[in-house]
């Protein structure tokens, strides 16, 4: 009999067709692949007792068991039913055969044959019982004879009955045999049934296969799964890489087994699942001693009892440490990439902006420069136009034009300055200068153009040294800017400057030793007015001792004439040497520029130093200006390492403060410089007290001086004109010869030397003083005197000095108290210069040649060569002097060294050319060269200055290219050393 095979017994598999979740291959013959697989069976640690309990108590477990039992019962029932049917059959057949036997007996008794043909064969397991297909059909091998017993003998004969009896006996025998056979078969069937394998065996076999499959599949998978009861004690766990013994795990909770981060979390998570009764997934990173750092993806599902209460959890974890690491790495990479990208974008944008800005700035600078040149032409032409006859309306229009032009020029200059500072092109120079002098001059300049009734005052503290080292041009620029600003916004009261030494401010990073109170410098100079002088030569240039001595001598004379009481030390030591030997120290000087003006509202303070910012549009309209001034000041101050700050109260005034570091020679005995003393006669009345540190200016003469004309521009220049007209007509004819003497010790050897007194030299030096306003006054005075003499004394000297007093008074320098001696001196001097002027007029046909050269050997050689060629030349030592010389006198030919200290030949040429083009010295003033006399542009008879031939003398150095020479307005150039031949060619070519 075939063995009936049970269908799958695996849990969950209770006979639903679609989507069997767990399919186990049915072994077919010898195709059992599992036989070849080694399956390691240790890993599973099972609490069998609990498993049984579990299967008893849980829904799933009990249903599986129930199914198994049912199946088994069913099978048994089937077998029993079959057997019963068989038995039934047999017993029926037996009944039939007994019945037949009875019939036969009856027939035999009644001798009647009524029974016979209705007998049929019966199969015991017929189609009706075909419940299971597997049940094999069985065919009946029992043939029941159906034919009537045929008896040949005659009925009712003895033979007949005998025969009949025999026949029946046979039939009975066969029946008996059949019965026996059936009995045997029944026995056999029962025996077979007993032999049949038990379902438990089947089951365990199937289970084992399933188990094997599971092991096969899971043998290397990084998976842990298990079951924990509701106290979260492990009841079952599968772990392919077990590191703990069974007894270490079973019956224990996570927390009891492991320590480290993540354990508690997983425990809590499992509890949560139990509480909620819903399966959940979570990723947990464990940091345990046992495993190190591992991340598991954990799936936990609750297990319910039949009653529906949670009795534990199934839990499955997969090690995803590598994946998590990779993922994290990816995230990090992605983040980094994003950051990188952002940075790149930002960077690109910055580059772009920077490039744009640079280009814009460059453009701006170029444009400004390009615009400036033609504009200055326009403005100067307009200025010249003001000197012509104009009606009222025309003059008004012209004034507007001029002021607009000035504004534009100022704006462009500001922009240029600003872009210079910003692009780092701006170079700071460090020269010695005198702070008092600077303050005074700035105030004087401001006072000169003052159009309001204001008091300008300057106050320099005692501890400020006489001389400091810094970029005087820039400092002046800052000061001028701040003061003009203050004046602009102040309608009454005063504007002042205060200068005093402060300790090193905190913002200064570099340590500088605290400055001593400077008393060494100070005490000795208290009585000396320091603000008056500046040597015509730069202190650092290679002046010769002899030359210095000469100068000192002159000034000593001068001094002793005016102030015999004061002794002069003769500082014959070369200043530059002195400077190199002395230690320098840094001193911080604070400068306050205060006013009593309209003040600045607090909210405007932050933007005050921004470019193009003014306090408000209203202010801009009312006060004009470019809005660049303060920005430039701030940038300049910061460039010099200082700070510019402001404090202000509306309607009370503002104070702008800048603190700058200056280099100071510690043991400076510059107060001995006779130049100081030479100026004392200008301040006879003021220099005997501490007020040498105090200046005050007022625009007192406003009404009387500036009444005639509507134009403030012309007004401003008017007082100077008085002096200048005369001076101009004389062309400073004493100048060239005295200058020459400065260079050649043996002054007598100069053929054309006029009678030399100390006075003309003195006056010359003052005129060449870059900052010296009062010297100018004196020059005016001087030339006025001279003029008076020359004109046969139609006016007496005192009237001339009146004129000069006017000028002086305006500056509020005590001019009127000129010592009488001085006037005498003036007489002398005018005498001598008169002579020289006559002499000069004799040689008027001679071409006037100026040599600008700083190297005295070159000077000597060139001068002698020119002498041999029949020319006497004027000599100056640098660009500034050259400009001054041209300011004083017009030349036919200038030989200009290119590379010179203080100011090079190129710049000097530019300034001279600018003058020739515009008729004014504005460019020179901007470059820091004070005009000795006001511009002659307003003189009615002023003719346009003619163009001077300027020939560059180059040393063939790379910095002095021919292109540069031509670009700066030079006509030609000669390489040095100068030779006869070259000079001759030059003179022939350029002199008529």
Q: What are the residues binding another protein (CB under 8 A)?
A: 542, 544, 576, 580, 749, 854-858, 860-861, 864-865, 868, 899, 901, 955, 957-958, 976-980
Nearest distance in Å: CB 849, another protein:
17
- 612 vs 980 by CB, closer to another protein: 980
Nearest distance in Å: CB 867, another protein:
8
* Both structure tokens of 443: 């105030």
CA distances (Å), origin 6, targets 75, 202, 206, 312: 10, 8, 9, 32
Collect contacts of 958-963 with beta carbons under 8 A, ≥24 apart. Answer: 959/899, 960/898, 960/899
Nearest distance in Å: CB 507, another protein:
24
- 23 vs 544 by CB, closer to another protein: 544
- 589 vs 978 by CB, closer to another protein: 978
Nearest distance in Å: CB 908, another protein:
17
Distance CA 92, CA 95 (A): 5
* Both structure tokens of 290: 């046992």
Positions of E strands within 422-491: 431-433, 454-460, 468-470
* DSSP 8-state symbol, 5: P
- 413 vs 855 by CB, closer to another protein: 855
**Partner residues linked to 515 by β-bridges:** none
- 473 vs 861 by CB, closer to another protein: 861
Nearest distance in Å: CB 872, another protein:
14
> Taking the chain, what is the end-to-end CA distance rounded to the nearest angstrom?
151
Q: Are 779 and 932 in contact (CB under 8 A)?
A: yes
Nearest distance in Å: CB 896, another protein:
14
- 268 vs 429 by CB, closer to another protein: 429
Nearest distance in Å: CB 572, another protein:
14
- Per the listing, tokens 């003895």 go with 158
**Three-state secondary-structure class, residue 658:** strand
CA distances (Å), origin 31, targets 323, 395, 486: 38, 125, 111
Q: Are 463 and 499 in contact (CB under 8 A)?
A: no
- 136 vs 870 by CB, closer to another protein: 870
Number of helical H runs and strand E runs in the chain: 30, 20
Please work out, in degrees rounded to the nearest 5, the angle formed at the alpha carbon of residue 700 by the alpha carbons of 698 and 703: 145
**Partner residues linked to 644 by β-bridges:** 658
Kind and range of the H or E element at 183?
helix 158-195
**Partner residues linked to 803 by β-bridges:** none
- 580 vs 690 by CB, closer to another protein: 580
Q: Are 750 and 741 in contact (CB under 8 A)?
A: yes
- 441 vs 976 by CB, closer to another protein: 976
Nearest distance in Å: CB 958, another protein:
8
Nearest distance in Å: CB 899, another protein:
6
Other Cβ atoms closer than 10 A to 732: 26
Q: Which residues contact 529 (CB under 8 A, 6 or more apart)?
A: 676, 679, 680, 682, 683, 686, 687, 692
* DSSP 8-state symbol, 680: G
The gap from C-alpha 107 to its chain's centroid, in whole angstroms, comes to 134
- 412 vs 851 by CB, closer to another protein: 851
Phi-psi region of 433 (alpha: psi -120 to 50; beta: other; left: phi over 0): beta
- 266 vs 858 by CB, closer to another protein: 858
Nearest distance in Å: CB 855, another protein:
4
Residue 518: which of 571, 585, 421, 579 has the closest Cα? 585
Residue 335: which of 347, 346, 327, 324 has the closest Cα? 327
- 88 vs 577 by CB, closer to another protein: 577
Other Cβ atoms closer than 10 A to 120: 7
Nearest distance in Å: CB 980, another protein:
6
**Three-state secondary-structure class, residue 908:** helix
- 704 vs 958 by CB, closer to another protein: 958
- 664 vs 865 by CB, closer to another protein: 865
Nearest distance in Å: CB 630, another protein:
32
Nearest distance in Å: CB 684, another protein:
39
- 396 vs 749 by CB, closer to another protein: 749
- 702 vs 899 by CB, closer to another protein: 899
- Per the listing, tokens 């996570």 go with 254
Nearest distance in Å: CB 672, another protein:
22
Q: Are 296 and 318 in contact (CB under 8 A)?
A: yes
The phi and psi torsions of 785 (rounded to 5 degrees) equal: -55, -50
Nearest distance in Å: CB 741, another protein:
16
Nearest distance in Å: CB 952, another protein:
14
Q: Are 596 and 653 in contact (CB under 8 A)?
A: yes
User: Do β-strands 292-304 and 280-288 pair in parallel, antiparallel, or remain unpaired?
Assistant: antiparallel
Distance CA 989, CA 980 (A): 14
Q: Are 771 and 777 in contact (CB under 8 A)?
A: no
Burial of 174 (0-12, 13-18, 19+ CB in 10 A): middle
Nearest distance in Å: CB 853, another protein:
8
User: Do β-strands 223-229 and 234-239 pair in parallel, antiparallel, or remain unpaired?
Assistant: antiparallel
- 377 vs 977 by CB, closer to another protein: 977
CA distances (Å), origin 709, targets 631, 713, 938: 35, 9, 13
């Amino acid at each position: 009999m075939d063995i009936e095979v049970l269908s799958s017994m695996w849990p969950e598999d209770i006979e639903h067709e679609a989507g069997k979740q767990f399919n186990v291959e049915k072994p077919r013959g010898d195709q059992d692949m599992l036989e070849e697989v080694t399956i390691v069976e240790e890993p599973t640690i099972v609490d069998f007792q609990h498993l049984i309990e579990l299967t008893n108590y849980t829904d799933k477990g009990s249903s599986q068991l129930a199914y198994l039992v049912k199946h088994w019962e069913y099978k048994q029932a089937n077998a029993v039913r079959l057997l019963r049917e068989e038995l039934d059959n047999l017993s029926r057949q037996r009944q039939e055969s007994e019945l037949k036997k009875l019939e036969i007996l009856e027939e035999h008794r009644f001798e009647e044959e009524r029974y016979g043909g209705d007998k049929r064969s019966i199969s015991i397991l017929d189609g009706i019982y075909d419940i299971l297909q597997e049940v094999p059909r069985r065919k009946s091998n029992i043939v029941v004879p159906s034919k009537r017993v045929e008896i040949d003998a005659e009925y009712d004969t003895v033979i007949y009955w005998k025969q009949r009896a025999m026949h029946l006996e046979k039939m009975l025998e066969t029946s008996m045999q059949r019965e026996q056979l059936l009995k045997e078969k029944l026995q056999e069937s029962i025996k077979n049934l007993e032999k049949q394998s038990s379902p438990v065996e089947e089951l365990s076999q199937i289970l084992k296969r399933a188990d094997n499959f599971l092991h096969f599949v899971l043998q290397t998978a990084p998976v842990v799964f298990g079951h924990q009861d509701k106290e979260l004690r492990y009841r079952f766990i599968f772990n392919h890489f077990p590191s703990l013994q069974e007894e270490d795990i079973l019956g224990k909770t996570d927390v009891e087994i492991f320590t480290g981060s993540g354990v508690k979390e997983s425990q809590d998570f499992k509890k949560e699942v139990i509480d909620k009764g819903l399966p959940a997934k979570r990723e947990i990173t464990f940091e345990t001693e046992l495993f190190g750092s591992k991340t598991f993806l954990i799936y936990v599902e609750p297990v319910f009892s039949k009653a529906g209460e949670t009795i534990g959890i199934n839990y499955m974890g997969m090690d995803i440490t590598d994946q998590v690491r990779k993922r994290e790495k990816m995230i990090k990479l992605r983040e980094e990439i994003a950051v990188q990208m952002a940075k790149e974008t930002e960077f690109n944008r910055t580059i772009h902006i920077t490039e744009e800005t640079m280009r814009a700035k460059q453009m701006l600078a170029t444009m400004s420069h390009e615009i400036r040149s033609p504009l200055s032409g326009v403005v100067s032409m307009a200025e010249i136009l003001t000197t012509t006859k104009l009606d009222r309306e025309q003059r008004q229009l012209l004034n507007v034009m001029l002021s607009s032009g000035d504004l534009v020029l100022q704006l462009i200059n500001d922009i240029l300055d600003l872009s210079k500072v910003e692009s780092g092109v701006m170079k700071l120079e460090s020269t010695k200068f005198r702070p008092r002098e600077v303050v005074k001059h700035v105030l004087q300049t401001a006072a000169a153009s003052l159009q309001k009734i204001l008091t300008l005052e300057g106050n320099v503290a005692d501890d400020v040294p006489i001389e400091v080292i810094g970029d005087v041009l820039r400092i002046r620029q800052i000061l001028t800017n701040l003061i003009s600003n203050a004046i602009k916004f102040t309608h009454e009261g005063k504007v002042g400057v205060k200068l005093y030494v402060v300790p090193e401010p905190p913002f200064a990073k570099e340590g500088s030793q605290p400055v001593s109170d400077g008393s060494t410098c100070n005490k000795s100079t208290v009585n000396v007015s320091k603000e008056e002088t500046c040597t015509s030569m730069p202190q650092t240039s290679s002046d010769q001792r002899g030359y210095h001595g000469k100068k000192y001598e002159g000034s000593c004379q001068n001094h002793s004439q005016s102030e015999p009481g004061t002794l002069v030390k003769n500082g014959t030591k070369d200043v530059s040497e002195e400077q190199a030997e002395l230690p320098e120290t840094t001193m911080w000087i604070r400068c306050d520029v205060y006013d009593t003006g309209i003040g600045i509202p607090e909210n405007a303070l932050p933007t005050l130093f921004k470019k193009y910012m003014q306090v408000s549009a209203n202010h801009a309209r009312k006060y004009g200006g470019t809005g660049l001034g303060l920005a430039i000041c701030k940038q300049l101050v910061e460039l010099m390492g200082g700070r510019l700050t402001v404090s202000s109260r509306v309607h009370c005034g503002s104070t702008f403060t800048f603190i700058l570091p200056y280099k100071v020679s510690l043991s400076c005995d510059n107060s001995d410089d006779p130049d100081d003393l030479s100026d004392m006669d200008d301040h006879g009345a003021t220099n005997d007290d501490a007020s040498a540190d105090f200046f005050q200016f007022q625009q007192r003469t406003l009404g009387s001086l500036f009444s005639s004309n509507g134009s403030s521009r012309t007004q401003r220049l008017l007082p100077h004109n008085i002096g200048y007209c005369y001076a101009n007509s004389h062309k400073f004819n004493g100048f060239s010869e005295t200058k020459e003497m400065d260079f050649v010790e043996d002054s007598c050897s100069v053929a054309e030397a006029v009678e030399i007194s100390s006075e003309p030299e003195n006056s010359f030096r003052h005129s060449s003083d870059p900052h010296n306003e009062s010297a100018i006054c004196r020059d005016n005075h001087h030339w006025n005197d001279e003029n008076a003499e020359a004109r046969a004394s139609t006016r007496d000297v005192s009237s001339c000095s009146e004129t000069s007093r006017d000028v002086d008074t305006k500056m509020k320098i005590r001019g009127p108290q000129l010592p009488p001696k001085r006037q005498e001196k003036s007489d002398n001097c005018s005498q001598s210069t008169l002579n020289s002027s006559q002499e000069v007029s004799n040689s008027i046909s001679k071409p006037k040649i100026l040599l600008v050269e700083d190297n005295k050997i070159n000077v000597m050689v060139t001068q002698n060569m020119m002498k041999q060629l029949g020319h006497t030349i004027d000599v100056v030592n640098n660009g500034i002097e050259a400009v001054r010389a041209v300011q004083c006198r017009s030349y036919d030919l200038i030989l200009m060294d290119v590379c010179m200290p203080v100011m090079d030949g190129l710049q000097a040429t530019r300034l001279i050319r600018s003058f020739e083009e515009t008729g004014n010295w504005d460019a020179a003033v901007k470059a820091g060269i004070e005009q000795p006399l006001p511009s002659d542009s307003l003189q009615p008879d002023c003719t346009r200055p003619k163009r001077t031939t300027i020939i560059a003398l180059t040393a063939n150095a790379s910095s002095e290219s021919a292109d540069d020479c031509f670009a700066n307005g030079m006509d030609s150039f000669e390489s040095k050393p100068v030779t006869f031949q070259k000079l001759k060619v030059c003179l022939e070519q350029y002199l008529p």
